[in-house]
Amino acid sequence: MKILSIDASCERLLITCAGAYKTYHGGRATPYILPLVNELLTELNLELADLDGFSAVVGPGSFTGVRVGVSTINAFCLSTGKKAVAVTSLELAGENAYLPAGNDNYYIKTGERYYFDSTAPANHTQFSPEYPPQMLEQVAQEKFSKGQETSILTPFYMRKSQAERMADGD
The pLDDT > 90 percentage for the chain reads 54
Report the pLDDT averaged over residues 77-90: 94
| Per-residue b or e along 43-74, where b marks 16 or more CB atoms closer than 10 Å to that residue's CB | ebebebeebebbbbbbbbbbeebbbbbbbbbb
Q: What is the pLDDT of residue 33?
A: 96
Q: What is the pLDDT of residue 114?
A: 63
Query: Is the pTM of the predicted complex or chain greater than 0.85?
Result: no
Report the pLDDT averaged over residues 78-95: 88
For the chain, give every domain's residue range. Answer: 3-89+130-167
Q: Which of 30-34, 91-95, 105-109, 161-165 has the lowest mean pLDDT?
A: 105-109
Q: What is the pLDDT of residue 145?
A: 97
Please report which helix (H) or strand (E) contains residue 141, including its range.
helix 133-145
Give me the CATH topology for the region 3-89+130-167. Answer: Nucleotidyltransferase; domain 5 (3.30.420)
